Amino acid sequence: MLALYTSVVAFLTYASVFAYRKAFTVAAFDGMHIGTFSYQTMLIISQVIGYMLSKFYGILFISSLRRSGRWITVSALVGVSWLCLLLFAVTPDWFGLVCFFINGFMLGFLWGVIFSYVEGRRTTDLTGSVMAVSFIFAGGFSRSVGKWLMMEHAVPEKWMPFMTGAVFALPLAFFLFLMERIPPPDARDEEERTRRIPMKRQNRKELMQALGTGILLVTITYVLLTILRDIRDNYMANMWRELGYGSNYAIFTRTETITSIVVLLMMGSLVLVRRNMLALRLVHMLILAGFLLGGVSSALFITGQMAGATWMQLTGLGLYMAYIPFNSIFFERLIASFRMAANVGFLMYITDAFGYLGSVILMVTKESMKFDISWSNYFAWGVALFSVVGSLTIVSSLSWFSRRHKVLEGEAVAVNDAT
């Protein structure tokens, strides 16, 4: 019952946070430009740069986070991000870039703060998966709410992000209250998954010395996934318009809900695997399967052998099969497998920081080079190419961590024998 309570509350809390981050992307801002860049793209890039910088700072901030006062931290971060959406509505267009930069910087810390409530438990695979699936569901749901406000209530594009945040303000406050009621991990949790601690400089140094090569391979894999996920997430509305579904505001929720349920069933089932290293290997295989599904479906779409709607559904499923494990299970099981004095936030924010850096570079490149290609075709080719590279890096990661675990296990046995 505690696992169920924690899962539902974490899901609803982070889903509500998404209303302050992604709803604005359904507004096209047609005809608006900043220099040679479209206004929509400049807003997205500004927010992602802020988000990226928060990830670099979060490597230290989140890894050293203490349990006390977390609800105050969440409230302050969301409050500032919502205020930025109000300023966006009432200030000149150019100042909107500043608003979304600050909005992204504030929101970038929230995953780490909220996940700290649920990590280090025997049921974290399930709870973390449910929370991570909110990426998919909430992204679609908050866009549907934003589109609904514009189409059914004539809310102007610049006011829509703030009004979407207003819809979720009271629910978020209530869910945050419920988060504070979650008890800390018990002794059995700490025995099976290791005790999670605020990390100091020495802890971070020891972890990187022991697992640095594997983390580098994982980071490369995650950079590819973040780029693809961010393009799909930020330009989903554009792609659906290009495929002929521009006036269907329910399609965001419908397709993302299907993906959410399938991914949740896959991720949540890993809670049944008690051996941490076996679970880590299975997660690698699931990520590889996601790359292959996304790559094959994109190849079929490019060659005209798959309908656009089916392609969007399957690439979304494959992408999140590969992406979600990093935000819920991968680092949780990695720490438990190697019995490191660490927390998930440290590893997650390393990979996230470089992932969003790659996302910014790719978006700026497409806009500045003025490629004559639609977002749907750009995304399809990106998925096809990155799936090949990602498959190679995740297989290399699996091989490296397996060998490293055997080496450290052997060293531990030798020490015990000597003692």
Domain boundaries, given as residue ranges, for the chain: 2-418
Instruction: Give just the sign of the alpha carbon dihedral 6, 8, 14, 20.
Output: negative
Query: What does the block give as tokens for 412?
Result: 């531990």
Classified by CATH at the fold level, domain 2-418 comes out as Growth Hormone; Chain: A; (1.20.1250)
Task: Judge whether 103 and 47 are in contact, CB under 8 Å.
Answer: yes
pTM equals 0.80
Tens-digit pLDDT string for the chain (419 aa) = 888 899 999 999 988 998 898 888 788 787 788 877 788 888 888 998 999 999 999 999 999 888 788 999 999 999 999 999 999 999 998 899 999 999 999 999 999 999 999 898 988 888 888 887 777 777 778 888 888 898 888 888 899 999 999 999 999 999 999 999 999 888 998 888 888 888 988 999 999 999 999 999 999 999 999 999 888 877 887 888 888 876 666 676 677 778 878 888 888 788 789 899 999 999 999 999 999 999 999 999 999 999 888 998 899 899 989 998 888 789 999 999 998 888 899 999 999 999 889 888 887 777 677 666 788 888 999 999 999 999 999 999 999 999 999 988 776 555 555 65
User: At a CB cut-off of 8 Å and minimum separation 6, what does 286 contact?
Assistant: 266, 267, 321, 322, 325
Question: At 22, phi and psi to the nearest 5?
Answer: -110, -15
Task: Judge whether 208 and 136 are in contact, CB under 8 Å.
Answer: no
